[in-house]
Amino acid sequence: MKIKLSILVFLFLTTLMFSQQLTESGKGYSEVVEVGIKKDAIYQKIKEWISLTYKSSNDVLQLDTEDKLITKGNMVVNFEVTKYKFDFRISFTMVFSIKDNKYKINLTPTEIKSIAYPSQDTGTAMLEMFMTNEVLSEEDYLVLSNENAFNSYKKIGWSDKKSTKMLKKYEDTIIKGYDSYKTNKANFDIEIKSLYKSVKNAITKKDDW
């Protein structure tokens, strides 16, 4: 059973499709928020959010200046894989740019890993496919899914013949995965929005004491 589940997770990872506004490159999200407080206050509130969100701000901070903060973080999202559900850890970089009365967040997902099967290499193609403004059509989903699955098989050293054979073998599984893709795409978007909202709430919250 564990081998079968591992194959299902592998297929999901090779077909996974990665709101806030997508950047021009399509590899991240960006949002500018206007708030009625000065730059130094925004900076302090972002630092507080980082400290409360992560166990140690020193472990995640890559850059710390009054104009810009860069952190590396991650979030866990539960995704459907056919009839099963698995937790996936999505790593990302967040860049906070700060000015008087406004700030900007650029969030770039960098990696997705199955918590149950962390050794499976997913690369970055999965994230790029997941990060779309609209839900992919079933036709586009199948084209990209098969392309990604084939490339993933090749990456682990399989021949063209064996890779094509495996695509054929799991054709029905990939087709059935479209409904899961739509659910997972929605869940991913919700988590991204929630992260941005968490920062905004921390910055705009009044200190009542």
- Identify the CATH number of the domain in which residue 67 sits: 3.30.530.80
What residue type is assigned to position 107 of the chain? L
Residue 148 lies in a domain: yes
The domain of 182 spans: 2-204
Q: What is the pLDDT along the chain (209 residues), one digit of tens a residue?
A: 544 444 444 445 444 433 367 776 678 899 999 998 999 999 999 999 999 898 777 778 999 999 999 999 999 988 887 778 889 899 999 999 999 999 999 999 988 888 887 776 665 666 767 788 888 899 988 888 888 888 878 888 889 999 899 888 888 888 888 898 888 888 889 999 999 999 999 999 887 66
Q: Tokens in use for 157?
A: 């050293």
Q: Which of 56, 49, 93, 63 is nearest to 75 (CA)?
A: 93
- DSSP result, 144-156: HHHHHHHHHHHHT
SS3 117: coil
Residue 162 lies in a domain: yes
Query: How many domains are contained in the chain?
Result: 1
Residue 138 lies in a domain: yes
- In angstroms, rounded to a whole number, what is the distance separating the alpha carbons of residues 171 and 150? 12
pTM, two decimals, is 0.78
